[in-house]
Amino acid sequence: MVSVKDRYDISMNAPLPAFDTQPAFAYKATARRDKRDLIALICDPKLPPRIDLVPTMQQLDQSGTLRVVDWDIVDWAPENRRCPVILFERPKGGRVFASKTQSRAPISEDMVTRNFLHNVAPTLHDLHLLNETHRAIRPENLFFADEKETQIVLGECLSAPPAVMQPLVCETIENCLAAPGGRGEGSKHHDMYSLGVCILALLTGEYPCLTMLDDQLIRDKFALGSYAAVVQQHRVSLTMMEVLRGLLNDDMNERWTIDDLALWINGRRLSPKQQVLPGKATRPFVVNDQEYQTARELAYGFWRHWDHAAEPITDGSLDGWLRRSLGDEAKIEAINLAKAAGEADQDRLVARAIIGLDPGGPIRMRALSTTAGGMGAFIGVYADDAEARKLFAQVVTMGLTGFWMEQQLVTRPENVVAAARIDKARATLIRGGLGYGLERVIYDLNENYPCRSPIFERDYVPTLEHLLPALERAAEGQGETMRRLADRDIAAFVGSHFRRAISAELRDMDAPDPATQIIGQIRLLGMVQESVGRQLTLTQLCRVAARLSKPAVDRFNSRELRKRAFTRLAKAVKSGNLSAMLEMIDNPRELELDRRAFKLATNEYTKSVADSLNLERDIANQDKIAGNIGGQISSGLAGLLATMIFVIAALVRLI
């Protein structure tokens, strides 16, 4: 049994595989106070859950989704580490679709409207009103809320990054082209599209486009539009056709919002605009033996066949096709702008050309493909992939997000915010030194991304409040093997989350002098303790800090002061206060007095050594010295005698 906040109990021996939500595993849980049946989702630490959304979900109308109860981080024995866990009220029924491949009896239009849309519409309305998104709306994430299995609600949306588990059929065209981890939070328009796919699945009892290959589905969406590509040969009544056309419209400006859906639910019939498909060329453009009819399809072809894309862009083939076969002056101008940056870097040229051909699509660079708003999520999800890190750095330093923004026909607030964040990340990425670079960018672009320090290999540190307790556990478990209090990742993590300037501390931590390094580490963590963890007693961490502080103590020249410093450090360890320890080893007044005393002692020692050397030299040369002194005395006496004789002679003459 695992306790959560002393209010809930998780039964480790009672898994609930029917409620597993990739990548989280479900276990039976119980509320201690009212004995409610709960589901505990043990989340994958490598795919950080959306814990920042938990308070929002708790505040809004949750009648249309699994009700969120609480979250925490627990010691999870099966994984031999600490893992995030999110608790939900357990629905009375099971999944609507047991799996992707398992069909079910179709649900009538009236039941879909009354028992599904009536439930989810208020929840989505409140969520969208707060500028938040669900981004996990898919057929296999629908549940029956009651025992009779009539009322249908949405599943949870917190256990993984937004949209990372969404199948292509549930995503818009632009998101189909993006990597799962690069879709980002998206907007309310993406939720509405996914909702349309779920409606179709409920009406047909089948998972849409289940047997289609991803490439074929994408090309069908290009050629036919999402509605035709997803609905295919299924028979849909005129009433439901109306709502599906509205929700699956590929034009975001024409796609139904939750308010439009609410009007339809309440009986007001709307007439979705017929979607206008992109114009096709009079002859296809061939890339690596594949034919493409539209600019968007060609952008997809260039991305799929990256190494074959640069030549037609530079040799004029693309310009000629756009002018003679497609007749699209706007695309010609966009390609000219793409080539204006020069052709020396072919990867940059191809990436810009793809944006010019398909400005509504994601930003693409070889294996990287991400929406503007999904850049942060991409580097968070694929942070351990060396190739992904390299491509991300290229995209940021090349300024591709800025070029993508320039090509947008409609400026959306979420895109402006995303572009500004990436522009700021660019300055951080190219800045060297501890606490900056790609490590810092990961945390800046992912608010609740856990600290990636190897010190926390078996822990989970999503916020600054969790940092010091985790370090205390690490100090207790690693003991004498712990060599640093804070490394590059911890420095970047604190730099991203801390609201005070820490440039001096980061500079000290990066200094070549070991004493300055450890003082910088203690000072940084001491500032964190004063700010967010004053109530914490960090005895184990202070003990490690005392052991690592030897280079700082050794700065004292006085043996007595060094002994006193170690004694005071031992006492400070018991207080568990890092700042108190710092006063023992980095007291400017004591260091200055020690420096002056050492300088005075050094001068006195130097003088005594010089005197001793002179004395030894005199003893070794005493005969010569005696002769010199005797000669000097004789010469002096002779001179004095001669002077006296001269004076006496002069006086005699005068008399």
3-state SS record for 44-92:
CCCCCCCHHHHHHHHHCCCCCECCEEEEEEEEEHHHCEEEEEEEEECCC
> Average pLDDT of the chain?
90
Note the pLDDT tens digit of each residue in 109-120. Answer: 999 999 999 999
Q: pLDDT for 365-421, tens place per residue? A: 999 999 999 999 999 999 999 999 999 999 999 999 999 999 998 888 888 999 999
HSE on the CB side for 197, CA within 13 Å? 27
Q: Are 349 and 310 in contact (CB under 8 A)?
A: yes
Task: Please give the domain boundaries of the chain with CATH numbers for all domains.
Answer: 2-89 (3.30.200.20), 109-265 (1.10.510.10), 285-445 (no CATH), 458-488+497-586 (no CATH)
Q: What integer pLDDT is reported at residue 481 of this predicted model?
A: 84
Q: Which of 133-137, 142-146, 506-510, 615-619 has the lowest mean pLDDT?
A: 615-619
Q: How confident is the model at residue 611 (pLDDT cuts 50, 70, 90)?
A: low
What residues are paired with 88 via a beta bridge?
A: 39, 68
- Give the per-residue pLDDT at 559: 78
User: CA-to-CA distance for 469 and 574, rounded, in angstroms?
Assistant: 16
- DSSP secondary-structure letter at 453? -
Q: Which class for 1: exposed (0-12), middle (13-18), buried (19 or more C-beta within 10 A)? A: exposed
The alpha carbon of 291 is separated from its chain's Cα centroid by a whole number of angstroms, namely 39
At 655 the pLDDT is 65
Residue 480 has what pLDDT?
A: 79
Q: Which pLDDT score is estimated for 596?
A: 74
Q: Cα separation of 649 and 601, whole Å?
A: 60
Which 8-state DSSP code applies to residue 95? B
Residues 107 and 58: beta-carbon distance below 8 Å: no
User: If 0-12 CB within 10 Å is exposed, 13-18 middle and 19+ buried, where does residue 412 land?
Assistant: middle
Which position has the higher pLDDT, 582 or 257?
257
Contact 85, 73 (CB under 8 A): yes
The pLDDT tens digits of the residues spanning 266-306 come to 888 777 777 778 888 999 999 999 999 999 999 999 999 99
Residue 71: closest CA among 424, 466, 570, 356? 466
> Minimal CA–CA distance to 444: which of 497, 487, 401, 399?
497
**Residue 604: pLDDT over 70:** no
Whether the predicted pLDDT of 648 surpasses 80 = no
Query: Over 99-130, what HEC string results?
Result: CCCCCCCCCCHHHHHHHHHHHHHHHHHHHHHC
Q: How far apart are CA 540 and CA 544, in angstroms?
A: 6
Over residues 23-38, mean pLDDT: 94
In degrees and rounded to multiples of 5, residue 427 shows phi and psi of -65, -40
Kindly report, residue by residue over 477-489, the tens digit of the pLDDT: 887 788 899 999 9
- pLDDT for 622 equals 67
Tell me the per-residue pLDDT of 147-198, one tens digit each, with 9 for 90 and over.
999 999 999 999 999 999 999 999 999 999 999 999 999 999 999 999 999 9
Report the C-alpha dihedral over residues 163, 168, 170, 176, rounded to 10 degrees.
70
φ/ψ of 370, rounded to 5, equals -150, 145
Task: Look at residue 271 in the predicted model and tell me its pLDDT.
Answer: 73
Q: Check whether 623 has a pLDDT greater than 70.
A: no
Q: Once rounded to an integer, what is the mean pLDDT over residues 58-74?
A: 92
pLDDT at 598: 62
**φ and ψ at 527, to 5 degrees?**
-65, -40
Q: Judging by DSSP bridges, how do beta strands 142-144 and 152-154 pair with one another?
A: antiparallel
Tokens of 466: 């969790």
Which has more pLDDT, 407 or 601? 407
CA distance 407 to 402: 9
pTM for the model: 0.87
Q: Tell me the per-residue pLDDT of 87-102, one tens digit each, with 9 for 90 and over.
A: 999 999 999 998 888 8
The top-scoring range by mean pLDDT among 329-333, 429-433, 462-466 is 462-466
Average pLDDT score over residue span 44-62: 91
Least confident of 12-26, 283-297, 353-367, 587-601: 587-601
At 597, is the pLDDT very low, low, confident or very high (cuts 50, 70, 90)?
A: low
pLDDT at 542 over 70: yes
Q: Does residue 625 surpass a pLDDT of 70?
A: no
